[in-house]
Amino acid sequence: MRQEFNGHGASRGSALGRARVRLPHVLEVVEEHIPARAVETEVARLHAAIATVRSEMFALRERLHGALAHEVGEFLDLHSLLLDDPELLQGLDELIRTGRYSADYALRLQRDRIASVFQTMDDAYFRSRVDDIDQVIGRVHAALHRHDAGMPGVAGEILVTDNVAPAEIAQLQAQGVMAIVTTTGSVLSHSAILARSLHLPLVVGTPQAMQKINDGDVLAVDGASGRVILEPDAADLRAHRARVRELARERKQLHRLRREPTRTLDGVDVKLYANAESREDVAEAHALGSAGVGLYRTEFLFLQRNELPDEEEQFRVYRDVVLGMTGRTVTIRTLDLGADKADRTGLALRDEPNPALGLRGVRLSLARDGLLDAQLRALVRASGYGPVRILLPMVSTREEVRSVRATLKHVTAELRAQGHEIAENVPLGAMIEVPAAAIALPAFIGSVDFLSIGTNDLVQYLLAADRNNEALTSLYTPLHPAVIRLIRDVIRQGQKRGKPVAVCGEIAGDPHFAPMLLALGLTEFSLHPATLLEVRRTIRHCDHARLQANAAALLRARDRKGIETWIAENAPSVG
């Protein structure tokens, strides 16, 4: 019988297929003891399984490229670190050797021990890490029995589950999953971001789905509206076919915009930069006609390895990015390890009580001897091959900028003295993602050449709302009057001092928000290549003067509803 469920549309697209229901992960293992003579064999079997999982994750990391590498890579790196955790490994060995438990039961006991510690923590971020523990343990358990950790046989099906991890998304799509429906989750989560980049339909927040849907049921999923239809009728099937035709038509139209200018109806040119972290990203950005690279992340050079990259290795990577953009500006962000990105070299601290507020970004670069010097030398050397800008993450004080500026001046003079061919000037910019930096901007804007607003962290810190905490889904939003006004203030400060300002957070890549950002005065966007053409299309249908005239009404909005109403009233018709 037909039933309809309404969730939140997290990734556009329409899918029709049979349901595959995945129950919440529970490691169902009974207590099992082994004889003393089998202990070392069991330990070796466990170690072999762990090695298999480590190898699989490394292979998946190596296969990732393009836009996927950053979003998925962070989670694979985190899971790899968990696999290398000495407490996890020693605990497993001890359980087998002293308790004479089977490897399966040792995994179950160790999982429960670690999960109980995380679940008692006050910090919601650490409590949420239990999902990562479950996924890592689940992979090892599957490897023990030579099973694939994924879900074979799901091609052409729609996955219905309680939640889905970012690291799973690419794997599920590769296996042929057509859409995903979850009972929990947020449209702003990493999983949702990744699904959008892959054009994989995703609906989150459908609490009844697991209770009402069974394996084999036919589902029609609309990833835009968040509607999920169980056993669709004739009208639902017609609506599905109409959505599919519309999406095909839209993609064809978007393809034609690859070589068109990003210009509003009244002739205002807007720069669309690409966020990137690999050669593939750079190639895609170039092909889409981006103005350049607005955010090149360098963390990948430092993750998944046991030693730091030296200046020469970094230089070669940065040089190739610059060459790939053939004269267009490349903005390279200095190392932003910390928070949920840790490395194996010991550079970033692993045991900070609150890593999101800890030693990360430019704080880490300034705290480690030689780290900043080597990266700045590599970046300045790359400037000899094309325009390079240097972007500092997590800036919160004037002293940080001035310290980096002094080091940049020193290494530039040093490189010239050594005979390197480098640019006359390498602009230095600051990411505005800490509220203190936004508020105190007049104090140090004279020390930077450009600004880039990192709205993902800015929203998190300004609203004291963890983006990964599902309980705060309604609170973590850029559509808060404080966020809007702060973005406007930063843009205005930049305009007054003649400093270019870009937005490089998620809202820059959402065409829905483009008119709002234009109204606030933004003319430089840095976004995921996957949505560049959609944003370009929206901007080309905007009347810049009219949006500017309506900006006062936007700034008078008292709450999220008021801002959403303004967005709806000012949305252009894109045909």
Question: Edge-to-edge strands of the sheet including 3-6?
Answer: 3-6, 227-230, 218-222, 14-22, 157-161, 179-182, 202-204, 8-11
* H-helix or E-strand spanning residue 99: helix 86-99
Place of tokens 């003891």: 33
Whether the CB-CB separation of 335 and 378 falls below 8 Å is answered with no
Of 106, 70, 66, nearest in space to 88 by CA: 106
Distance CA 523, CA 270 (A): 5
Which residue type occupies 450?
F
Within 120-212, residue ranges assigned H as helices are 124-128, 130-144, 166-174, 190-198, 209-212
Q: Is 504 a catalytic residue?
A: yes
For 488-509, b where at least 16 C-beta lie within 10 A, e where not — what string?
Answer: bbbbebbeeeebbbbbbbbbbb
Distance CA 171, CA 79 (A): 15
Distance CA 78, CA 95 (A): 24
Distance CA 149, CA 135 (A): 9
**Residue in 8, 79, 504, 528 annotated catalytic:** 504
| Collapsed DSSP state (helix, strand, coil) of residue 175 | coil
Q: Which two tokens stand for residue 239?
A: 């609506």
CB atoms within 10 A of CB 441: 23
Q: DSSP assignment of 512-541, as one string?
A: GGHHHHHHTT--EEEE-GGGHHHHHHHHHT
For 266-292, b where at least 16 C-beta lie within 10 A, e where not — what string?
Answer: eebebbbbbbbbbebbbbbbbebbbbb
Q: Is 190 a catalytic residue?
A: yes
**Residue in 190, 240, 286, 544 annotated catalytic:** 190
Say which residues have a Cβ less than 8 Å from residue 301's Cβ, sequence separation at least 6: 309, 313, 314, 317
Say which residues have a Cβ less than 8 Å from residue 282's Cβ, sequence separation at least 6: 274, 276, 293, 296, 321, 324, 325
| Collapsed DSSP state (helix, strand, coil) of residue 3 | strand
Whether the CB-CB separation of 196 and 530 falls below 8 Å is answered with yes
CB atoms within 10 A of CB 60: 16
Which residue type occupies 112?
D
Q: Which two tokens stand for residue 367?
A: 């705290």
Residues marked active site are found at 190, 504
